[in-house]
Amino acid sequence: MGDVWAVSDIHGHRDVLVAALTDAGLIDESEHWSGGDARLWLLGDYVDRGPDGIGVIRLARRLEQEAAEAGGAATALLGNHEILLLGMHRYGAMPVPSDPRYAFEPNWAGNGGVVTDLEGLDEEILDWLTTRPAIGEDADHLLLHSDTVEYLEWGGTVDEINAAVRAELRMPDLDTWWEMWRRLTTRMAFAGADGPGVARRVLDELGGSRIVHGHTICALIRGGGVSPDDEPLVYADGLALDIDGGIFVGGPCLLVRLDEEAEGR
């Protein structure tokens, strides 16, 4: 079994991702997969807030192919910012029918939307983005983008949830898209006094012995400011691992080996 790695919330900082993958030996100097049978999980939020979200997507797509050819895997999950970009592309400023106070455009603009990401969407990228799995499981870890229980609204197993999200991504329905964005934008479900119980319930339902997620910068859960020296945050009585270092606010790119994490517990 190959090594299992996870990284999250690149937000357009392609160069930072390339440096981390190179250091780990997962890509070579020419940015091609060199990880052999390793399995890499990218936990979403490729776009917005940074210079080259489309470049991050193109790299993820290529590594997905190259890793598979080498007997490994690179799997890219869906983040809320992918829904935001796709929602902006599809619906722009159109009011949400179920609640016309809302629309994608002001949310996109207010959450780091980048014009070159929007303009860089082509049919291949749209097809790829709308077929992303929402969650995964590997090395006894449950892999999520967002630290939320809202995934359970889509189903009671990893496969059910991914199938339901994939079906909704094909629906030309603004209310459905807005609800996807709302669900994936919630956070902090595993923090605080109730956090361990909530994490336990999600793991009991979906499998794995630890949740690994991005979406919420570690410093927000831990308290204090973001520092380039920040490390992945284990919390919720060890049931959750946050790997969002906050790249877009000067934090580190946390590329974490999950099979070692599991052994070290």
The site for Mn ion (CB under 5 A) is made up of 45, 79-80, 215
Which is closer to Mn ion, CB of 79 or CB of 252? Answer: 79
- In whole angstroms, the minimum distance from the beta carbon of 80 to Mn ion comes to 4
Which is closer to Mn ion, CB of 27 or CB of 47? Answer: 47
Which is closer to Mn ion, CB of 27 or CB of 165? Answer: 165
- In whole angstroms, the minimum distance from the beta carbon of 193 to Mn ion comes to 24
- In whole angstroms, the minimum distance from the beta carbon of 140 to Mn ion comes to 24
- In whole angstroms, the minimum distance from the beta carbon of 185 to Mn ion comes to 7
Reduced to 3 states (helix: H, G, I; strand: E, B; else coil), residue 7 is: strand
The residue with tokens 């939020």 is: 45
- In whole angstroms, the minimum distance from the beta carbon of 9 to Mn ion comes to 6
Which residues lie closer than 8 Å to 230 by C-beta, 6 or more apart? Answer: 218, 219, 245, 246, 251, 252, 254
- In whole angstroms, the minimum distance from the beta carbon of 192 to Mn ion comes to 19
Which is closer to Mn ion, CB of 38 or CB of 135? Answer: 135
Which is closer to Mn ion, CB of 67 or CB of 84? Answer: 84
What residue is closest to Mn ion based on CB?
Answer: 215
Which is closer to Mn ion, CB of 38 or CB of 253? Answer: 253
Distance CA 198, CA 204 (A): 10
Contact 144, 78 (CB under 8 A): no
Which residues lie closer than 8 Å to 173 by C-beta, 6 or more apart? Answer: none
Tokens of 156: 């009671």
User: Over 21-69, what HEC string results?
Assistant: HHHCCCECCCCCECCCCCEEEECCCCCCCCCCHHHHHHHHHHHHHHHHH
According to DSSP, residue 99 is labeled: B
